[in-house]
Amino acid sequence: MQWLGGEIVGIAKNGKVYLTDQKVPSKDANAVLFAGQRPDVVITHRVEVKVKNDFYDRIGVETQDNELIFNGSIKNGKHADFTIKENDFK
């Protein structure tokens, strides 16, 4: 997620934004979400994404059971509502 022009936007990489519906504790986030590829990253917050009904058809699944794919970029307020919270999952 990035802050652009006063709005939070999920920028599509290769036309996709990767999401998960699993509650991932901070200590496990690097391994679960990034396959251990970002060892220096500490996940302190989460972005809860509530996709609006008109855009559910843009959600697909890939090979991993914890992976949801939103096709295209996600704009807060247009495609979904975002809530930023401290990652307090244990």
Give me the pLDDT at residue 54, please.
93
- What 3-state DSSP class applies to 17? strand
Hey, where are the domains in the chain?
A: 2-86
CA distances from 81 to 25, 32, 37, 51 (A): 22, 24, 28, 7
Q: What are phi and psi of 48, to 5 degrees?
A: -85, 130
Closest CA to 34 of 64, 58, 2: 64
Give me the pLDDT at residue 9, please.
65
Give me the pLDDT at residue 40, please.
76
* pLDDT tens per residue across all 90 residues of the chain: 555 555 666 666 688 888 888 888 888 877 877 777 777 777 788 888 899 999 989 888 877 777 888 888 888 889 999 888 888 876
